[in-house]
Amino acid sequence: MAAQYQVNTTAKSEKEDLANFISMISRDETPFMSSIGKTKSKAIFHEWQTDELTAPTSQPFAEGDSFTTVQSGTAANVDRTRIGNYTQINSKTVSVSGTKRAVDQAGVADEYAYQLKKRGTELKRDQEHDLVHSCKGKNGTGTRTMGGYQAYVNQNLEDVTTSGNSSWTAPGSLGDGTMDETPITRSASGQTNDGNLKAIELSNVDNIMQTIYEAGGRATTLMTSPANKRALSSKAHGASQNTIRNLDDTGKIRQSIELFDSDFGEIQIVPNYIMGLSYNTDRAESGNIAAESDAADYFALVYDPSNFAIASLRPLQETEVGQFGDSTVGQIVEECTLEVKNPKAAGMITGLNGQ
């Protein structure tokens, strides 16, 4: 009978094998903010002006007519429109103990500097969320909030829903920054009322492009969730569509569509992962949770990036507050708002289900 030996698998002398780097597993892009411009704000209520031409009409001028005769048939001079948005303070705080800064850590030269960089990335993602996904309106009372895309582009809509509770009614007037309702209502028990949501279609893109064109704009970008982006690519290559996949000289087939040539100009299709995130905002009524809202996959934004800008009152900056006990405390802060130069030159496809 052979001797049996016990293998020692817990040797105390073995070194840990920890790689000297940290892999960030979250996405850090901000597609909407990266696509638009930047400008300056000089007050907490940032304003700009818009003007427009009168509608085309027939205005024949008879020989010998006086100016008063001609003017009686024309519209009076209309004053320009002032549009504004409140600046929003965005901030993150960092607190790192003295011990954390002193010990030798894998992948980190200085824990405080690392945390500052990480919080700065999170702050930018939070701003992207407020701009395209939170459905927030402008508010100058108490904690100021800037109105996002939906609050200013609330008239040029292609609603794919049929009827019922899921249909989103755009609040306010064009460009007024109002947003007082959220797209999909969920009961406290989690039961959804979204049976009328639909998949995005190429016809939806054509329709909203026509609406924007007739309003005087020319959209160049469609931004939506990854699920809607994939659904749009699938529809473009469907059996009933007059499209073909791009086959290059290496034999690679391009499944996705990144540029759609509509009847009213080319439009780039851009995925935004933040627009696909589920977020639930509890709304209290009489002390009870009445409902929750979820805008994941609901919108497709159709716009010209040149008509949008981030207006900065205070650029992103870091302030080392100092020592709080045995910890180093710092804060990063930025104050800015969204500028929508021409609300008529943009639109939305609403009521999408990401399928």
Instruction: List the strands of the sheet with 299-303, edge to edge.
Output: 157-159, 347-350, 299-303, 221-224, 265-271, 259-262
The pLDDT of residue 287? 35
Pairwise pLDDT comparison (212 vs 247), residue with the higher score? 212
Q: Give the mean pLDDT of 148-164.
A: 79
Mean of per-residue pLDDT scores for the chain: 77
Domain boundaries, the chain: 31-49+81-350
Q: Give the mean pLDDT of 154-182.
A: 68
The pLDDT of residue 312? 94
- Percentage of residues in the chain with pLDDT exceeding 70? 71
The pLDDT of residue 4? 65
Q: Give the mean pLDDT of 278-290.
A: 41
Pairwise pLDDT comparison (56 vs 6), residue with the higher score? 56
**Cα 224 to chain center, whole Å?**
9
The pLDDT of residue 175? 77
* Amino acid at site 172: G
Q: Give the mean pLDDT of 285-295.
A: 43
Question: Burial level of 351, CB count in 10 A (0-12/13-18/19+)?
Answer: buried
Q: Outline where the chain has alpha helix (H).
A: 31-35, 67-72, 98-102, 111-132, 149-152, 202-214, 226-236
Q: Give the mean pLDDT of 134-138.
A: 85
Q: Give the mean pLDDT of 260-273.
A: 88
Closest CA to 337 of 82, 122, 47: 47
Which residues, 6 or more positions from 44, have their beta carbon under 8 angstroms from its beta carbon? 86, 87, 140, 144, 313
Pairwise pLDDT comparison (282 vs 298), residue with the higher score? 298
The pLDDT of residue 3? 62
The pLDDT of residue 179? 74
Contact present, 330 and 273 (Cβ < 8 Å): no
Q: Give the mean pLDDT of 27-39.
A: 89
- Fold of the domain built from segment(s) 31-49+81-350: phage-related protein like fold (3.90.1690)
The pLDDT of residue 233? 84
321: confidence class by pLDDT, cuts 50, 70, 90: confident
Which contacts (CB < 8 Å, 24+ apart) does range 30-34 have? 30/124, 30/125, 30/127, 30/128, 30/274, 31/128, 31/223, 31/270, 31/271, 31/272, 31/274, 32/128, 32/131, 32/132, 32/149, 32/223, 32/272, 32/301, 33/124, 33/127, 33/128, 33/131, 33/310
φ, ψ of residue 19 to 5 degrees: the values are: -60, 145
The pLDDT of residue 283? 37
- Beta pairing partners, 263: none
Residue 314: which H helix or E strand, with range? strand 308-324
Residue 105 gets the label, from left (phi > 0), alpha (psi -120 to 50) or beta, of: beta
For the ranges 80-84, 120-124, 200-204, 246-250, the lowest mean pLDDT is seen at 246-250
Does position 162 have pLDDT exceeding 50, yes or no? Answer: yes
The pLDDT of residue 180? 58
The pLDDT of residue 223? 94
Three-state DSSP class for residue 301: strand
Between CA 297 and CA 317 the distance in angstroms is 33
The pLDDT of residue 190? 45
238: confidence class by pLDDT, cuts 50, 70, 90: low
* Amino acid at site 178: T
The pLDDT of residue 291? 38
Three-state DSSP class for residue 297: coil
Three-state DSSP class for residue 275: helix
Q: Give the mean pLDDT of 241-270.
A: 70
Residues in the chain: 355
Does position 329 have pLDDT exceeding 60, yes or no? Answer: yes
302: confidence class by pLDDT, cuts 50, 70, 90: very high
CA distances from 265 to 200, 217, 254, 261, 299 (A): 19, 11, 22, 6, 21
Does position 322 have pLDDT exceeding 70, yes or no? Answer: yes
Pairwise pLDDT comparison (62 vs 232), residue with the higher score? 232
Pairwise pLDDT comparison (67 vs 290), residue with the higher score? 67
Q: What is the pTM of this model?
A: 0.80
Contact present, 46 and 85 (Cβ < 8 Å): yes
Q: Give the mean pLDDT of 322-351.
A: 88
Does position 64 have pLDDT exceeding 70, yes or no? Answer: yes
The pLDDT of residue 219? 92
Contact present, 303 and 153 (Cβ < 8 Å): yes
Pairwise pLDDT comparison (226 vs 67), residue with the higher score? 226
Handedness of CA 321, 139, 151, 187 (dihedral sign): positive
Residue 248 gets the label, from left (phi > 0), alpha (psi -120 to 50) or beta, of: beta
The pLDDT of residue 237? 65
